[in-house]
Structure 1
Amino acid sequence: MELRQLRYFVAIVDHGSLSRAAVVLHVAQPALTQQLRQLEQDLGAQLLHRTAQGVHSTDAGKVFYEHAQAILKQVADARSAVTQSARPSGSVTLGLPHSISGALALPLLTAARQHYPDITLQLTEELTGNLAEQLKSGRVNLAVLFDDGQLTPFATTVLAEESLCFICRADAPWFPGRDVITLQEALQATLILPGLQHGVRPRIEAVAKAAGLATGEVIEINSIAILKSALMAGMGATILPVAPVLPEIDRGAMRALAIHGPAISRTVVLCASRTLPLTNAATAISRLAVDVASELCSSGQWPGATLR
């Protein structure tokens, strides 16, 4: 197996066609087909289905595609680490959960362009469970995750402590005229929450269990955009940080109530692999992320988040 075969395979999948991939790679199509055939023989598995409309990954191909991407990224990072000068340069991929990107993505991207013009910062938005796997495999250099006691495989730096609130449509029947409720009261509502393996859900379940409480009826939705649509449709309420729904709160479409007795918060951490070394560029972005988060907390531009 050769690196060029990995590059060829990824290009074929990305472009959905051997002919288009051949043009982009500047390789004759028969040579590309031969390299693909050799790769499949080496792996002992068919990676692609060929059809008149193009090519599609088999189940084995989908698995191999993820690994091929990770390997090619690590090779690029290794080359960048060797060739970088004192001025950080190169590409850095940072993964952000959906519920954090609204607060952190744009300020971090703006700061990176200002302070490190030679670094290409690629931001990817994913579910936390997916981000952890991508960080382990090397598909992302850094990821913002939540400290749920399962982050031992990673090197971590705390960015902030973020409070969670009870959030519902402005005219919803829950607790009219109140600004504060208890956790027990919050859990009695029909809640729209992410699945157990993602986002705020593990934290809510842990705090509730420690208080001798349990969630009632839960509608599971893993997309922030769909979750907000469900809230506006009156399907239920949620327990989330304020930042993802701040535009809706500001225009009076939603309201947020503080939760006490006990309060719920989550620890936001920046994670890197313990086994894959960071490039100079990734190290610079890591430090910048800490600085940006600190400034956002201190200035109040990250609602509900405080320094820890």
Structure 2
Amino acid sequence: MTPTLKQIRFFVAAVDWGSLSRAAAHLNVAQPALSQQIAGLEAVLKAELLGRTPRGVHPTEAGERFYRHARTILRQVEGAVADLSGPSAVSGRVAVGLPTSAATILAHPLLAALLGGYPGIRPELFESLSGYLHELVVRHRLDLAILYRDRAGPGLTVRPVLREDLFLVTRAEPGLDATITMREVAGLPLVMPSPTHSLRTTVEAAFAQQDLDLRVIADVDSLPTMRKAAASGLAATILPMSGLSGLAEADRPAIRRIVDPCITRPLGLCHASDLPLVGAIAVVADLVVAEMRRLVETGAWTGAMLVEP
């Protein structure tokens, strides 16, 4: 016996939703029918795929391994159907991860473009820290993600799109220069993300190359809190311009470009190397890149420069 597509689809939904009841509601089936299909799958594979707790379900070690294959199988089937049906009929669920600062400027226009131009695609936008998004992509929990990198890694394919300048963000005061040197920044109290955050590692590496240390007085993994701390004068921070998107003019802190040398970081569109870009995923991937390029070219994404393909 071999697993059926229904069994595979039901299992993937259970893992994605973390709950049999929510997965059943999403699939519009009765929960006992869902449980029966998953039990049948476990019987065929002779392995327990889901662990049950009062809070829901989670994949076992065997379930994690099978989940990666299952997502690929479902995507390949969707791609085959889309290839025969034509581009106008492309459909399916596509999960996209966005780091917080990029989400502030990219999430809304991306969602508008998807809903307006591709009614058959069900987008799922997930905002989190870049490191966590990386993990979810490699584990096939996300189909695509914007990550702060321009090179491929183990199990990861990267399409470089742009680079962002980083700025000192501080309280607005009369007479501030538009630029500030890295050595001057080194003497300022800063609030920064925790040491594992990609922004923190990028900035620390840039300062280390100049034999300078950051004076970090608090680790803050919250973009709104970092912005408020800077605007109030509690402490400065370092952010790209995209991290200030959506702020009212009255709430905007002062922005000073860091020079001597400048600090930049890359952004790339990433997907699991063993997950083919077909069907709806391929459409969304191209649209993400197109929207990022449009935002830079129109000046909406300030402080960023495109990387030529």
TM category (shorter chain) comes to 0.7 to 0.9
Which of 168, 185, 201 is residue 170 of structure 2 equivalent to?
168
Give 4+ residue runs of structure 1 displaced > 3 Å after superposition: 1-13, 15-18, 42-46, 60-76, 148-153, 229-235, 246-249
Paired position in structure 2 for 1:47:
51
Greater shift, 213-222 or 133-142, is seen at 213-222
Structure 1 equivalent of residue 81 of structure 2:
83
Distance in 1 between residues matched to 2:262 and 2:248, nearest whole Å: 20
Match of 1:52 in 2: none
8 Å CA contact 2:96–2:145 kept in 1: the answer is: yes
Distance 2:246 2:132 in 1: 27
Which region of structure 1 is more displaced relative to structure 2, 92-101 or 208-217?
Answer: 208-217
Deviations along 1:250-272, one digit per CA (max 9) or x if unpaired, are 22541111110111111111112
Q: Could you say what secondary structure the match of 1:158 adopts?
A: strand
Q: CA deviation at 1:48?
A: 3.1
Deviations for 1:55-75, whole angstroms, at most 9, x for unmatched residues?
2259x7687887776565444
Alignment of 1:96-245 (within 5 A): 96-147=98-149, 151=153, 153-170=155-172, 177-232=176-231, 234-245=233-244
Letter matched to residue 181 of structure 2? T
The corresponding residue for 2:11 is 6
Question: What are structure 2's unaligned runs of at least 5 residues?
Answer: none
Secondary structure of the 2:78 match is: helix
Alpha-carbon contact 2:104-2:246 (below 8 Å) kept: no
Over 3 Å counting, the alpha-carbon distance change for 1:86 and 1:184 in structure 2 is same
Deviates further, 253-262 or 176-185: 176-185
2:161·2:292 contact (CA, 8 Å) conserved in 1? yes
Q: Percent identity, please.
A: 24
- Alpha carbons of 1:235 and 1:274: their partners in 2 closer, same or farther (altered >3 Å)? same
Q: 1:61 to 1:166 in 2, by over 3 A?
A: same
AA partner of residue 114 (structure 1) = G
The AA in structure 1 aligned to 2:258 is: I
Contact 2:19 2:56 in 1 (8 A): no
**Counterpart amino acid of 1:130?**
Y
Q: Report deviation, 1:7.
A: 5.7
Distance in 1 of aligned mates of 2:13 and 2:39:
8
TM-score by length of 2: 0.79
Contact residue 49 and residue 63 of structure 2 kept, 8 A: no
Q: Secondary structure at the match of 1:236?
A: coil
Unaligned runs of 5+ in 1: 50-54
Give 1:6 shift. 3.3
